[in-house]
Amino acid sequence: MIIKQRNALSVRASLPVVAMAVLAVTGCAATGGANKGASASESVPSVAQTLATGDDAARRGDFERALAYYMQAVNVEQTAEIWMRIGAASSRLSNSQRARDAFLKVLELEPTWTEALEGAGLESVELGDTASARDYLNRTLQADPQRWRSHNALGTLDDEAGNHGAAIAHYTAALEINPESPVVLNNLGYSRYLLEDLDQAARDLYAATRLDPKHERAWANLALVYAHKGWYADAVQALGKVADEAAAHNDIGYVAFQRGDLEDAATLLEEAVRLSPVYFEMANKNLAAVRARMGGSVRALSTHDAEIDDLMSGNATSMVVDER
């Protein structure tokens, strides 16, 4: 049986990483004056001047250039503030190994710097080093229980371990601290989907899309929940926010096939083929698999606007409102 679903349908939001906020924390160290002993003709900039130039580049979003200046500075002077900048810039450049190494350098010099401890934990998650991630993130929360990113990251680790109850507790704690985070709401909704609490999952994911209408994974996960409720037309509409129409019909058709709704699966896959008859080879293969199992005619899909309104009415943002 050849029937596949694109991975993009069910993946969760990626973890937030240490960013410009860290640079802001260390910003005061970048504004020091030039070396008073330097002559007017001195051509070598001071460490403070080098950091200031790097900070200007970071504020413009040019993290490659910023990192180059920070590396120049750290070759002259080894301080926690400079290593913190290197970690933050490396994180923004998706170089998790270099970012974690830099944050650990900060902790060697300043063992109580909570931002560096959290940064090491978040980058360890990105590196797949689960044991180290849990250690750093739990230590972060011991030092500062208000670190919502640490709660969120620990929630994703618990979900991956199949401990969805513990994951939901972390997401809930994260929302108490940062109640308008679409990232956390998406993760919470997906965790509830894994527990087959589809109604509350839909509310959480819908709330995430309200907070960030461009949140691709929240729309994709909401589509997944609708599809598992049998609301296929609504699922296609939700997934269509972030995928082309043919792909949306194919993906939701796959879910319908999984659920045993063969007539709906055939309807969805036929539409996928109609929308992209040459390019969308996957839909043709999926449709052939469905037809081989079922035979017979297909039917039109129905929407569930009233049910969605009832589900969301008064509760769509309940997690946000109740946890402020």
Tens digits of residue pLDDT in 229-247: 999 999 999 999 999 999 9
Confidence of residue 291 (pLDDT cuts 50, 70, 90): confident
CA distances from 112 to 99, 117, 229 (A): 18, 8, 48
Strand positions, DSSP E, 231-283: none
CA distances from 2 to 119, 170, 205 (A): 43, 38, 30
**What pLDDT, on a 0 to 100 scale, did the predictor assign at position 32?**
40
Of residues 16 and 143, more confidence is placed in: 143
The domain ranges of the chain are 18-31+45-144
**What pLDDT, on a 0 to 100 scale, did the predictor assign at position 44?**
66
CATH topology classification for 18-31+45-144: 1.25.40
CA angle 193/264/240 to nearest 5° reads 60
Q: Which residues contact 112 (CB under 8 A, 6 or more apart)?
A: 143
Confidence of residue 300 (pLDDT cuts 50, 70, 90): low
**What pLDDT, on a 0 to 100 scale, did the predictor assign at position 147?**
97
**What pLDDT, on a 0 to 100 scale, did the predictor assign at position 309?**
60
Mean pLDDT, rounded, for 249-278: 90
Supply the angle between the helices 198-211 and 305-312 in degrees, to the nearest 10: 80
Mean pLDDT, rounded, for 39-61: 83
**What pLDDT, on a 0 to 100 scale, did the predictor assign at position 42?**
53
Of residues 7 and 183, more confidence is placed in: 183
Which run of H or E residues covers position 229? none
Of residues 151 and 33, more confidence is placed in: 151
Cα 293 to Cα 254: distance, rounded to the nearest angstrom: 14
Which run of H or E residues covers position 94? none
Note the maximum CA span of the chain. 90
CA angle 20/24/25 to nearest 5° reads 120
Confidence of residue 255 (pLDDT cuts 50, 70, 90): very high
Tens digits of residue pLDDT in 108-131: 999 999 999 999 999 999 999 999
Burial class (CB in 10 A: 0-12, 13-18, 19+), 227: buried
Q: Which amino acid appears at position 263 of this protein? A: E
Cα 99 to Cα 265: distance, rounded to the nearest angstrom: 46
